[in-house]
Chains A and B, each alone.
Chain A
Amino acid sequence: MHRYRQQNRIPRSAWQIRNPARQFTIALIILSEIAGFGTSANESGLVRADEFRSKILPILAENCFSCHGPDAANRKADLRLDQREDALKVLSLEDPDAGEFLKRITSSDPDLMMPPPGANRKPIHPHDVDLLRRWIGEGAQWSGHWSLSAPVRPTVPGLAPHPIDAFVLHSLNERGLSLSKPASRTTLARRLAFDLTGMLPPKEQIDEFLKSESQDAVEHYIDQLLNSPHHGERLAMWWLDAARYADTDGFQQDATRTNWPWRDWVIEAFNSNMPFDQFTIHQFAGDLIPEANSKSRLATAFHRNHMTNGEGGRDPEESRVDYVIDRTNSIGSVWLGVTLGCCQCHSHKYDPISHDDYYRLAAFFNSIDETGKAGREAGPYLSVESSTVARALEESDRWLQRRSSEEVAAKASAEPRFQQWLKELWQLAAEEPQRLVAWTNLPVAALESTEGTTLTADSEQIIQASGKNPVQDDYRVVIRPGNSRITGIRLEVFPHTSHTQGRFSRGRAGHFVLTDVKVQVREQGSSQVRDLLIDNAVADTSDDPAKYEGYGSIKHVLDDDPRNGWSIRDADQTKPHVAVFALAEPLLLHDTESLVFELRMRSTLGDANMGRFRVSVSDQAGSTVRSVEQAPIDRLREYLSSGASQADLPDHLLQALREQFLADHEAYLTARRNLDLAARQKDEIASAQKVDVMVLAERKDPRATHVLIRGVWDKPGTQVSAGIPSAIGGWTENAAPDRLGLARWLVSEQNPLTARVVVNHFWQMMFGQGLVRTVEDFGVQGEPPTHPELLDWLAVEFVESGWNIRHLLRLMVTSQTYQQTSVISPDLRMKDPENRWLARSHRFRVPSWMLRDNVLSTSGLLNPAIGGPPIRPWQPPGVWEENFMGRFRYEPSQGPAQYRRTIYAFWRRAVAPTFLFDSAQRRVCEVRSNRTNTPLHALTLLNDVGYLEAARAIAEATITQQNSESDRIQKIAERILLRRLNEQELSPLLNTFNSTKLWYQDHPDDALAFLQACNPNDLFVKHSADTHSSDDSAQLAAFVVTAASIYNLDEAITHE
């Protein structure tokens, strides 16, 4: 057994910021000479102060504090057990069992026992009771909670050359454990790449590292990763979760905001290794620091990343108070590791933070020059012209050029087919001119009225209402067109003498109000119907809705809202009128199916049911079903019937026919849609050249801050002034009581928490779990650190290095503890299943954002540009539309913009990106990782188009390089796993490859369809039956499937 020697400070010079590895080694030698051996074993058996903290206090907190803790308002029996002098009232130091405290916790009498029966807590475990008894008997030594006293650098125990290893080995030795052997080079290469940059680096960099055996190579590789611009992105992703960053407001409107320049500020801050104290100060008070400039003001957007609520009917002041509360809580989760949220309503039940303390802290944020409004009224703003936009704009322009020339080419290649079509039209005109007609009145198969109106159709298929005239009604017209194609529906309304004043209906005023229409398909013999989407409605005339309580416009018949609709009151009501509805997709109807056209007349006042009308259908696309003008083929028929010749066809008619043709020509339509998307994308980026970022600024007249009674925004209590909780260290002398003072205090020596909390964040990031597992809670209800001395040593080291993040990370990843293998022996699993003592490396699935970035990187698709306006990765269609009933549409980014890293993905708060199955919610600050393992994750990785596209890219890249199938599969594995598969691994994948290839050889259409599905952005050569042998396609498709399988291997998605 050894004892600690006196504490020794490490020579500061050796730990300087840009400390190269060699100096580091020297420092370690010095360190090990001065440190000597040490142990924390306690020979006297006395419960020491630190044991009080780690063992006794948690028992008291867990079982007693909710009624006998810091919260005076809810304290029972006027007894508090969180302070020694109060606790002594019920403790008997001479005879512990005689004291009221021990009597109560050992009693089984329901009237006496503690915790009481109603508290839903189990009795205190006998082992814990023994511990308490011993503690009382030894004098009830007391000390404050561990995290509330400032960290002091402890002596490094043992001889290990690296201080982290020294501390870890020390606690391992105490438990009869030791470090595992070092991880393999390939494992280390992947582990370091994930931890430091979030994805594998380019192949050359990895190869260089794997080639060399030397320790220098490890350090060189680490430096390469730390100096990579992707390092800043990796750290920023952590910070964005903590900062609840998103691109929309959240809540009802969920309007888009443009705070992304702040995200770029964060990346740049990490890439320039901005010291964490400066990083803090700029984000809290970049507007108040002496050297304030627009860049430092931009940093303050951190505290504006909260959600903003623009819900109609909400009092903006309530929202404003919410934002102040949100900022206050963020200090707790991110810097202090203290749960502050509960103090909004009452004093903390466990930690010494009072209701008043909370509002003193909130006061720092209470005088921001804000109104509580959302959307475009969420100032204060900073106008930012980001230099990153030019690159994105150029990129989108190049893509637009490409799409534009594709569109021209598509039009040209459609021309011969158009000419062919024209020829067929001529022939038709000559042989069956009656078929040259845009609209057909098909026989009505059935007529239904919900409320019992009598509907009858005449020989012209004109339908007349008679009999009962209900206030509201729905009509359904059923037709059976047989095998046919339908692009749109026309509704003609007619006046009639049986109607009021010969107008359109039998209602009092003779007008009609059509509130909604629906089109459905019914299959004979099937119970189900399907709705068809109508995407356009036009009429020859409509009323002005402003004039008639919202009723008038034809557009409103598509919105399923009975409070608006189409009416004709201002146009001539004694003439027929017409409306035309275009289907979003042409409908191909089978002869067993019927079409149902439903007219809903459900206006508020009612009494406006259409009296006479006719329904026709068309098979023509384009303007025929999107305007009420005469259709091009009808114009052609009339033109021909006048005896004119084909050669004289006027240009405008030829052009109309060509447009009609193209509107129905799939190859052209695809090119056209792509062009439109590219154009919209470019417009969107152009509009990002100058954006408003929400930042902090003080208002002229500070607001008074009050304690809010029970946390309710409009129930102010006593007034308080800005200040910090007295239990967490003292205020910096002479500091102004403003945000700048607060930020300086957060990173000052007076604050015992920040350095520990932040070091623990980084430890979690590198090691998978924090030294304090409850990363967000260093309070008495949180878990105590597994390695308290190590945590304190690192915290002091971090501060003394000048809050140097890169130094801290390098220190962590150069340790043996970090570099050991994650293989778990059965013995070790038994002894330490949760890996608290770090006898191995932690093995866990990497976060989904890294998975996406890594497939981009390893497949070669990655667009490594840094910063700029948000992009939209692939996402299944309809996700935004469903939650917003169509108010927002998601259009995935086109071209190179699609392959940007996930940190740039547009983040809608109401519907987070679907491919991130484990992400933080970005609604409040979150700092703990979420590692689940569910079938939905498997489905995402197997079926997300982004992963498939990457699988195709890597398969294509490999297929040209290697000859044998095994070699190709090995090549793919080498890029993803950084190693060759052994025989036992290769053989199942070869099986997959072979049986897949056989399948695709037998099903060439499947192969083509699959390859197309893996080519959403048109990056790869299109395989088609004409241009490629089916063997080629089957071979490639089987490689893509195999590559996708390798991307799904546990090893591929795991931080080993």
Chain B
Amino acid sequence: MNEMPDGRMQLTRRVLLGRAAGFSPGAIALASLSSQTAVADPDRISSLAAKARRVIFLTQSGGPSQLELFDAKPDLHRWAGKELPESVRQGQRLTTMTASQKQLVMPSRVRFRKCGESGATISEWLPSLRNVADELCFIKSMYTDQINHAPAMTHLLTGHQLIGRPSIGAWVSYGLGSDNQNLPDYVVMISRMQRPSDQPLYDHYWGSGFLPSKYQGVKLRNSRDPVLYLRNPDGLPPEVRRTMLDGIGNVNAKRYEETGDPEILTRISQYEMSFRMQTSIPDLINTGDESESTFELYGPDSRRAGSYAANCILARRLMERGVRFVQLIHPDWDHHSRLTSWCTARCRDTDQATAALVTDLKQRGLLEDTLVIWGGEFGRGVAGQGNWNSPEAGRDHHPRCFTIWMAGGGIRPGTTIGATDEFSYNVADTPIHVRDLHATVLHLLGINHETLTYRYQGLDFRLTGVEPAHLINGALSG
């Protein structure tokens, strides 16, 4: 059985030796603590030097428009309203929403500017992000195989369009374990929105697939129960819970003596951890100890619990506590119509807080070993959906190119990788597939994507799948 590489055993020891009277530690064979749950075999993860220890994935769900945010094509106005040449389109499949419509070019609805010393192009809809441009590495040549939300998001987050694989956070948690014994390894936060979403967020996006369920992302909710079932029932204070756990733990310890089943010791320690989580999670969420300047940095929305901006502050707090993988999900980037009002609304939700997170991590010395990723499941097409010339128009899904950016641990700051053609339609330079992104993320964490595998149904699965994946070398710092 595998030894745990992450110090869990110590936890169990401490719990056993520390807590609850009535235990006779001598009677408990500590050597037998190996749990039945699987942990990645450390031999199989080659010991690359890790540049990042933690990840924040700012997932923008719905397909943000690269044409409005990062991928400036100032010359496109010459093509305004003209049909996209077949030489560019090359039979690209469309969703059935626009399949019957002529592909008339709609130039970007917004102005761009070159920012910072790196000269990255960033839209005027993202004024705050411009201030941290020199920290970021843009990848403008991302592409995916999927054209619809659920399969594309599943692909981005699990490496395969079909449901059933572990999410990237689960893989990382499986591969690296935890630095914090009082919080889950993998935490997910969804921005609180009022608009019923056309694209629901499925729990498999942060699921553990065929990995043991302990690796699945734990959703931090904006409610009285920030983690499901965390809160004691009304009228049951921690004092009573403590005496319950003492009773349960003591009887369980007796049961262990009788049955010799080491799983009971794991159970005792997990019940103890559940008790500690009842303190550690409220502590995490209570941002009352943050200074006023923090809220000013992240913007007015950060005062509203559940907002993207408030979640960005929590993401930083989670990094400070050594949580391995934090995933924020901001929905509603699926701008098929009224691009100007709709897309700017999402920019307003996120821009200041996103930039603040990068700044804040840097100020606190966390950015050097924290990898920050910003991106969605695909991009948007150059053709207008609806009448291209009307304010009503939006853009349809586009898998052949989209932009993401990364910053922090192991990332070369102030760079731009890859380029698209003059229509932001095809990748013109350095194509980067989703699996290349996955391989690079794992690499930065010190994991060889080819050796982090899990045997299921007779096959050795890995995040990057069967096709060869390549590191994005240009994005890596020295």
Contacts and interface: CB of A to CB of B under 8 A. Distances in A.
Interface string B285-317: 001101010110000000111100000000000
Contact of A924 (B163, B219, B448): B163
A931 B36 contact: yes
A935 B340 contact: no
A1050 B150 contact: no
B4 to A, nearest CB: 13
Contacts of A886: 194, 196
Contacts of B196: 559, 884-887
Contacts of B287: 527-528
Contacts of A1009: 234-235
B458 A781 contact: yes
Interface string A890-932: 0000000000000000000111101001100101100000111
A633 B89 CA distance: 67
B228 A602 contact: no
Give the interface SS of chain A, mostly helix, strand, loop or mixed.
Answer: loop
A366 interface: no
Nearest to B163: A923
A312 B233 contact: no
B252 A910 contact: no
Interface residues of A, number: 125
A558 B194 contact: yes
Contacts of B198: 252, 312
Contacts of A252: 149-150, 198-200
A1041 B250 contact: no
A779 B225 contact: no
A910 B200 CA distance: 8
Given A313-B396, A989-B247, A991-B243, A826 B164 contact: no
A995 B163 CA distance: 49
Given A252-B150, A935-B277, A1007 B266 contact: no
B430 interface: no
Interface in B186-239: 190, 192-204, 207, 212-214, 218-219, 221, 223, 225, 227-237, 239
B22 A988 contact: yes
B49 interface: no
B244 interface: yes
Given A527-B292, A1010-B233, A774 B247 contact: no
Nearest to A528: B303
A757 interface: no
A937 B95 CA distance: 42
Contacts of A1012: 234-235
Contact of B150 (A309, A603, A777): A309
Given A527-B290, A560-B195, A825-B260, A935 B228 contact: no
Interface in B298-339: 303-306, 331, 337-338
A936 interface: yes
Interface string A84-117: 0000000000000000000000000000000000
B274 A939 contact: yes
Contacts of A945: 233
Given A882-B190, A992-B247, A933 B233 contact: no
Contacts of A991: 243, 246-247
Contacts of B451: 120
B177 to A, nearest CB: 14
B88 interface: no
A1050 B258 CA distance: 12
Interface size class of B (residues with CB under 8 A): 35 or more
Contacts of B255: 1049-1051
A602 B345 contact: yes
Contact of A942 (B195, B225, B244, B457): B244
Nearest to A712: B145
Contacts of A377: none
Contacts of B270: 933-935, 937-938
Contact of B288 (A527, A559, A843, A921): A527
Contact of B274 (A312, A876, A935): A935
A522 to B, nearest CB: 8
Contacts of A387: none
B259 interface: yes
Contacts of B227: 936, 939
Contacts of B273: 935, 938
Contacts of A985: 251, 254
Given A887-B197, A933-B37, A1049-B248, A528 B288 contact: yes
A912 B36 CA distance: 25
B230 to A, nearest CB: 6
B154 to A, nearest CB: 10
B237 A527 contact: no
A559 B195 contact: yes
A83 interface: no
B473 interface: no
Contacts of A930: 212-213
A605 interface: yes
Contact of A563 (B199, B248, B277, B338): B338
A945 B231 CA distance: 11
A825 B258 CA distance: 9
A884 B290 CA distance: 31
B164 to A, nearest CB: 5
Contacts of A1010: 233-236
B180 interface: no
A1056 B35 contact: no
A948 interface: yes
Interface of A: 120, 250-252, 254, 307, 309, 311-315, 333, 339, 341-342, 350-351, 472, 515-516, 520, 522, 526-531, 549, 558-563, 602-606, 774, 776-777, 779-782, 822-826, 829, 833, 843-845, 876-879, 882-887, 909-912, 914, 917-918, 921, 923-924, 930-940, 942-945, 948, 981, 984-985, 988-989, 991-992, 995-996, 999, 1003, 1005-1014, 1037, 1041-1042, 1044-1045, 1048-1051, 1056
6 contacts: A252-B198, A313-B148, A342-B459, A528-B287, A843-B259, A885-B197
8 residue pairs, one from A and one from B, having the closest CB atoms: A313-B95, A1010-B235, A1009-B235, A781-B458, A992-B247, A560-B194, A988-B250, A777-B458
Given A250-B202, A309-B150, A882-B221, 20 more contacts: A250-B163, A251-B150, A313-B97, A339-B458, A563-B338, A605-B391, A825-B260, A833-B1, A878-B223, A882-B219, A923-B204, A924-B162, A924-B163, A932-B213, A988-B22, A991-B246, A999-B240, A1049-B251, A1049-B255, A1056-B259
